[in-house]
Structure 1
Amino acid sequence: MKKSIWMPVSISVVMLMAACGGGEEKKAEEKASTAETTAPAADNSMVADVTGKGKELMAAQDCATCHKETEKVIGPSFKEIAAKYPSNPENIATLADKIISGGSGNWGEIPMAPHAGISKSDAEEMVKYILTVK
């Protein structure tokens, strides 16, 4: 009686293993193929990572109330900011501080509200994204 129960189970397990066999090799080939076709160029790989993170951080804030990527709203567009400030460590630090502390005068009389709850590193990621908008 016990043999009759285990035989169908054993056959099912063997068939399942056979049906799934070779899957690891296929998955590895698919991953390699995908990596080759979707990997950014070596000089843009860092920008792509920063762009995604900075853009995500900004989406969680109120930035879109006053700024758009290519058109002026209340504050300058990201494109205007990127044209005025070259992407270098000094500008990234300065603009990150401006996001955190707020201010006015660089783009007109309307002040930018401070965002004291944003960490320096997150503000820098946001600035890195802004400076990629062309």
Structure 2
Amino acid sequence: MKLNKTLSLAVVAAAIMATSCGGSGTKTETTSSTPAPAAPAQQEVSPEERHKDNPDFAAGLALVKQSDCPSCHMVDRKIVGPAYNDVSEKYELTDENVELLASHVINGNVGVWGEIPMPAHPTLSKEDAELMVKYVLLLKK
């Protein structure tokens, strides 16, 4: 009888251990957590997209395109004069800078970007020159 009690206790203990440790005889699935996919790199928005609702940007761009500006300037690269992006990095968009740079466009200038002079554009109105300058300064990243 003592052997039966001991054997019964051993069986009960084994059953308790098996169920408490997950060994119920059925397979349990383990799930490994996979890292969330990395957020897609934020694409740089073009200045045209960034300023699509800005009438000064659109008007200035149109004026620049129909002028002789592209023969000496590009947005991203220096040709004869500085790249527009370089100008926008150097000057903040303030009324004073717009007025100063518009006067450089109308009257010509030399010495700020080197010794090659920027020719004068005396037939250009002050308002148009200011719109063109605003377009350039709005290119700032």
- TM-score normalised per structure 2: 0.61
Specify the alignment match of 2:136 in structure 1: 130
Specify the alignment match of 1:111 in structure 2: 117
**Aligned partner of 1:125: which letter?**
L
Distance in 1 between residues matched to 2:134 and 2:59, nearest whole Å? 9
1:13-36 residue CA offsets vs partner (Å, 9 max, x unmatched): xxxxxxxxxxxxxxxxxxxxxxxx
1:82 aligns with 2:82: no
SS in 1 for 2:82: coil
Q: Percent identity?
A: 40
Instruction: Give ranges in structure 2 of 5+ residues lacking alignment.
Output: 1-50
Moved beyond 2 Å, runs of 4+: none
**Aligned partner of 2:127: which letter?**
S
Specify the alignment match of 2:76 in structure 1: 70
- TM-score normalised per structure 1: 0.64
Alpha-carbon offset, residue 103 of structure 1: 1.2
Alpha-carbon offset, residue 45 of structure 1: 7.2
Q: How many residues align?
A: 91
The answer as to whether partners of 2:52 and 2:58 remain within 8 angstroms in 1 is no
Question: Aligned ranges for residues 1-134 of structure 1 at < 5 Å?
Answer: 48-134=54-140
Larger Rg: 2
